[in-house]
Structure 1
Amino acid sequence: MAEKHEAELKKELENAVKTMLEKDDYTIEKTAQVIRILTRLTELKLKKPSGLGLDDTILSERFKCPISGQIMGDPVVLASGQTYDRPYIENWLKQGNLTCFRSKQVLSHSFLTPNCLVRELISCWHGVSDVAVPEPRQDVGGESITERVRVSLNSLLEKMSSSLSDQKEAAKELRRLTQASLSNRVIFCELPDAISRLLSPLSESKVESHPDLQEDLITTVLNLSTHDYNKRKVAENPVVLRLLTESMKFGTIETRKNAAAALFTLSTIDSNKMIIAKSGAPVTLLEVLQGGHPLAMKEAASTILNLCMMLEIKKQFIDIGVVKVIMQKIYDSILVDELVSILALLSNNPTANEELSEVETVHCLFRVMTNSNSSLTKENCVVILFNVCSEDYPLLKVLWVEELQEKTITELADTGTERAKSKASDLIINMSETFPISEGS
């Protein structure tokens, strides 16, 4: 039985590591999963008289440098996204090669980024495999790779107080570096006053004065915000939310989209939601939703959905008119799936419920529910209709007439999600008890 469990764990570990190395999936959840499996395998090993007997084809092959064929001691990521052992890929580059050894892709740059996560995984695996792992190599003079990256990033930040041409050059490089590597994002936010220094050119002039510079800096903020470690630090900087809010309205299309996307990523943790809500961003998010560029509009809708998870912020959006804006967009068939999700959250609020209590709204949502191919959208529509119509006799009758013709709610009670089945069944019971069947003739 233990052998079978061990084999299952090994297979699960192989799949998890393959995903991380081949699909660049370095999320906290995936890392925790791998460490959990390794810990369990270690526990099994301690209970057995012999070693785990891990098959090298399962794990060690994943941890070998494609050039040397040996377990990596200092894994680094090349511009192509492939991971190599530093001494071997450096030698490959020094020979004048301008392509990735494995993929043959032409390299946009030769900067090597430490792959800290793979190094940690190799160390964990080493603990249960009895295979020696080489020590990480240092640069000439003993300087660590992390320190070299830190010095490079700090030097680029210093250029933010230099000439405009230096600012633009440094901004492009910071955008590239923070996009290329998770570890670069972490190191960046550990530098003293790094975010304020990064954004100082925008703080000292009109945000839209230099659109190319603005785009690079705002995109760098987005890159930094994608790492959970940085989210709170970024949001708590008083400069960031003001500049993101302004940049949703001014600048290139890419700038406006990325500013809204940065707010979305920051809003994914609860501690940031109230900070964003108090910054004045909700008004701008609603303005973008009402009349912004379609790409920024989609990001704004996702951010509003995140923020409305909190009761106090939900009320704030309702007070500034979000229901009216959303319904107009749904009438116009714009971002219907996303906006119906927000309405489902809002519809249990008395004020929002009252705003939704219109005959045309019932017709519109019923049509969306009938025509949609999304099970989640159908679910959200029936939730809204349940909240709006259940206690309103005239609207319930409107819904009942629609249902007699289309049978959409009846079908949903049989084939929908669990939540959709529950709400649809409750609506059917409510309608059948309220209206005699003869009224449908």
Structure 2
Amino acid sequence: MHGPWTRGLHTCRIRSSPLQNLIIAIEDKGRKSCSSMATTAENEVSALKQKLQDLVKSIVDNDDYPVQAANEAIHALSTLKDLKCTTPLSTNLDDSGVPSHYRCPLSNHLMSDPVILTSGQTFDRPFIQNWLNRVHGMCPQTHQVLSHVILTPNFLLQSMISNWCKLSGVDIPKPVFDIHDEQVTEAHRHRLRSLLFKLSLSVSEQKEAAKELRQLAKQMSGIRSLFGNLQMIQLLIRPLSSGTASVDTDLQEDLISTLLNLTINDVNKRVFIENESVITVLIDSLKCGTVETRSNAAAAFSSLSSLDSNKHIIGKSGAIKPLVNLLEEGDPLAMKDAGSALFKLCFARENIARTVREGVVQVILGKIVDHVLVDELLSLLALLATHAKAVEELVSHGGVRFLLDILRDNTEERIQENIAVILHLVCCHDKEKREEIKEEEMVHSTLSKLEHNGSSRAKRKASSILQCLGIDYSTSRYTQISELVRVKGTVGLNRTKELQYYTLKTHYVESDGNELVEECSLVNVTINEEENKIE
């Protein structure tokens, strides 16, 4: 099940500063030819030095200098340091021989720790982390201001780079951690303690402190690491501990955004989930607050759900119902974050049942009818459909006919793939619906067309559905052999039902002899043990 839950939707619009434009210009020039790059880079560096000189002079000469001038001077100096310190990550490698898609767009060197931004672009972790710290969450390639700066490891690309290095006789680059990160000084620690203390004072002082904490947590990973203990977290969320109904909305928004930024740190993910107060505050903020507050609360749950152990805890906490409600009622800015959180949570199988009980299938179908987040919600529905209860809900709300109509008229690859996955699971779970799908096929040949014209994944699923329906096209490219493998014992449920876990292994053999095996977990299906097939 492919899902584009990687793009942050609640993107804010800001006016880029001259310094940000200058940094972007330097990075854009870095992707041009080496000869022109050298000349242009020198010009840009000279301009940056001149700007720094002017800023420093204005600060020195004017006792009442603006804070913005100091901030821009700091950023200019940090950028000059980055340009000075950037070096190749592998000493025995001629970068000219590295495939372009293995290079970091920022450093132009072979990536050691590739990560994906919410914009969908991949960079080397230390370089993009430093960029985000300096340029306040703007993607250097798309120039999009990111809703949050959670970095997702690109394990597939990392594996490809590793294999390429072995085949090319090149040392695999060692990951470099925070090579440009600002060091947390005692002054930073003192300032942090002061800000946390201000959260216990008047509302105006709380709002001022929360706004600064939000920026610090966004820009400095060192600051984020200081929140890895329960006491610090309790101080941070203290203004929200009495409930969100009476809290100033701007204060709530800044504190929830701070929590979201802090969840980037993996240690914090574990610490936060152990604190019931954090979960309670996030759940309350899903229900009540500004659009950005509700969206960031959902994004925080999505970030926390990156750890498998957290999925189970969040599922039991009562967060799923307000996430489903936000998906149904929320502003478009919040819906995608709610969907992303639900998608991650449902990789813990017990959370699928919880999510289905809250009526998510009907919500998803309603949104798709309204042409809202069709691609993303079909990905979520494909994951949910591995559970029999989700298929029952889908069938009872007329979802099969609706999906067939979409499949017949839509040519987008990922939408076709996910609908094919869902229909295949319907065939596995519901024998009666096979007839409806078969009737559709006899009239419109929807699946046979997909088998011949779709992506490789869509073709395999279409072929599997056709064989399940007993329709044998002589031109079929695939021969399918399926087997059911029990992966867990039968579990008693309410003393009257039995819950059975199986894996459906499907072997696809192409006409040229290549074989592909796909596995799909099925829950709560009825099995004919003697014939080893789904009833």
- The reply to whether TM is greater than 0.5 is yes
Measured at CA, do residues 313 and 247 of structure 1 come closer, stay the same or move farther in structure 2, by a change above 3 Å?
same
The answer for the alignment partner of 1:408 in structure 2 is 446
Residue of structure 2 aligned with 1:171, choices 203, 210, 220: 210
Q: Is the 8 A contact 1:156 1:170 kept in 2?
A: yes
Q: Does 1:239 align with 2:201?
A: no
Residue of structure 1 aligned with 2:250, choices 212, 219, 239: 212
3-state secondary structure, aligned to 2:353: helix
Q: Does 1:156 align with 2:195?
A: yes
Q: Is the 8 A contact 1:67 1:89 kept in 2?
A: no
Q: CA RMSD in A?
A: 4.0
1:152 positional shift: 2.0
Distance in 1 of aligned mates of 2:247 and 2:260 = 20
Q: Is the 8 A contact 2:301 2:341 kept in 1?
A: yes
Q: Is the 8 A contact 1:178 1:224 kept in 2?
A: yes
The answer for the alignment partner of 1:95 in structure 2 is 57
Distance in 1 of aligned mates of 2:283 and 2:408 = 37
1:111 positional shift: 7.8
Identity between Structure 1 and Structure 2 (%): 37
Distance in 2 of aligned mates of 1:397 and 1:61 = 69
Q: Does 1:285 align with 2:247?
A: no
Distance in 1 of aligned mates of 2:338 and 2:383 = 16
- Structure with the larger helix share: 1
Structure 1 residue identity aligned to 2:451: A
Distance in 2 of aligned mates of 1:409 and 1:367 = 12
Residue of structure 1 aligned with 2:366, choices 328, 345, 368: 328
Q: Is the 8 A contact 1:389 1:396 kept in 2?
A: yes
Measured at CA, do residues 190 and 342 of structure 1 come closer, stay the same or move farther in structure 2, by a change above 3 Å?
closer
Residue of structure 1 aligned with 2:287, choices 249, 258, 283: 249
Unaligned runs of 5+ in 2: 1-22, 29-33, 61-67, 93-182, 474-535
Size of the aligned set, in residue pairs, is: 348
Q: Is the 8 A contact 2:420 2:462 kept in 1?
A: yes
- Structure with the larger strand share: 2
1:413 positional shift: 1.5
1:169 positional shift: 0.8
The answer for the alignment partner of 1:319 in structure 2 is 357
1:303 positional shift: 0.8
1:247 positional shift: 0.8
Q: Is the 8 A contact 2:273 2:310 kept in 1?
A: yes
Unaligned runs of 5+ in 1: 1-17, 24-55, 70-83, 99-105, 130-143, 436-441
Q: Normalization by structure 2: what TM-score?
A: 0.56
Distance in 2 of aligned mates of 1:320 and 1:277 = 12
Q: Is the 8 A contact 1:261 1:299 kept in 2?
A: yes
More RCO (CA 8 Å, sep 6+): 2
Q: Normalization by structure 1: what TM-score?
A: 0.66
Distance in 2 of aligned mates of 1:68 and 1:174 = 34
The answer for the alignment partner of 1:375 in structure 2 is 413
Distance in 1 of aligned mates of 2:185 and 2:87 = 21
The answer for the alignment partner of 1:72 in structure 2 is none
Distance in 2 of aligned mates of 1:421 and 1:241 = 43
